[in-house]
Amino acid sequence: MIGAREGGGSGAELDHGGRVPSGSTAMHDDSPPAAPLALLVALALAGFAANSLLCRLALVDGGGGPAIDPASFTSIRLAAGALVLIVLAGPSRARARGSWSGALALFVYAISFSLAYVRIGAAVGALVLFGAVQITMLGTALREGERPGPRTWIGLLAALAGIAWLVAPGLRAPDPIGAMSMALAGAAWGAYSLLGRRSREDPLGATAGNFARALPAALLVSLAWSLRATPLASTRGVVLACCSGALASGLAYAIWYAALPRLGATRAGLVQLLVPIVAAAAALPLLGETLSLRLVGATVLVVGGVALALAPITDTART
């Protein structure tokens, strides 16, 4: 997921109003000049949505049981993502960009994401993640002094109501520990996106640097996991983790950064509303998940509320 922006995590993200910051004009353009914008956007969004499907497929629905443990999945995902991003950005840019604080936020997101998908489905997880990212970023905007209008407040409250409805106790409620873990992943990704404002001029290099810096922490968790239980990493699980890191993370982020300067501020914020919808729609046939009234209603509230909140926030005044 990219922050308000998913994928904006390490520098190409928009500001609180969904705008590309004025300082981003020096941003590296890593796009193929002739690549159609619609194709770039579609590929990036498909990659972001695929992360939920690949993770769930590897950890639970791997055809006969789990194909890999969550710690190993996280380590392999970050390693594969770092490799692809370093190749695309170049080792020198990866060394010079990024930060340890950004890497920490990225690691918390990645491990919480994996642990959550042991307990909850891809459709529910994608929605909780998306909602938590947006609420974190909008909440930070409020804390930093932005004073949004009534439409933004209504949108934010609608999104909060949608998340609350989704996780409320009941027969169709998701596992509470899984939901909380995914909410933590979303908050961490929101923080990662906000930290990325420091490196607007080279988001691809910053993302490469952050992936590389986050890898040692993931390896330590894998080591700790192996002391607690027998590690699980079948060929199928390793392949799925590599696809998540190399394709759905590293390559998808690079494609998004290539599209972002041409996409425009408002459209960049709004098209990402499709990510949880795409993930949920794909989870039905691919993972055999069911569509409940609770999930549909929560999706309408969260996605609709964020859309409402993003539109007017560009007119807010900072006190």
Residues 6+ apart with CB under 8 A from 165: 294, 297, 298, 301
CB 38 within 8 A of CB 26: no
For residue 174, CA distances in Å to 103, 162, 245, 302, 316 come to 29, 13, 26, 16, 36
Residues 6+ apart with CB under 8 A from 293: 172
Backbone angles phi, psi at 6, to 5 degrees: -60, 150
Residues 6+ apart with CB under 8 A from 238: 68, 72, 76
Helix (H, G, I), strand (E, B) or coil at 6: strand
Helix (H, G, I), strand (E, B) or coil at 147: strand
- Give the Cα separation of 111 and 49 in Å (integer): 17
Q: Which of 127, 113, 123, 129 is nearest to 284 (CA)?
A: 123
Residue tagged 């709004």 (tokens): 270
pLDDT value, residue 130 = 87
Average pLDDT over residues 16-38: 50
Tell me which of 121 and 25 has the higher pLDDT: 121
pLDDT value, residue 31 = 45
pLDDT in tens, 153-165: 888 788 888 888 8
What is the DSSP annotation of 51-85? HHHHHHHHHT-SSSS-SB-HHHHHHHHHHHHHHHH
Q: What sign results for the dihedral spanned by CA atoms 33, 37, 41, 46?
A: negative
Least confident of 168-182, 233-247, 273-287, 303-317: 303-317
Average pLDDT over residues 284-298: 86
pLDDT value, residue 199 = 59
Binned at pLDDT 50, 70 and 90, residue 16 comes out as very low
Tell me which of 17 and 97 has the higher pLDDT: 97
Tell me which of 65 and 175 has the higher pLDDT: 175
Binned at pLDDT 50, 70 and 90, residue 78 comes out as very high
Binned at pLDDT 50, 70 and 90, residue 15 comes out as very low
pTM for this predicted structure:
0.81
Degrees (nearest 5) of the Cα angle 222, 107, 223? 10
Least confident of 20-24, 83-87, 277-281, 304-308: 20-24
Reading the block at residue 240, the tokens are 């799925």
Residue 249 has pLDDT above 50, yes or no: yes
Number of residues that make up the chain: 319
The per-residue pLDDT of the chain, averaged, comes to 82
CB 106 within 8 A of CB 9: yes
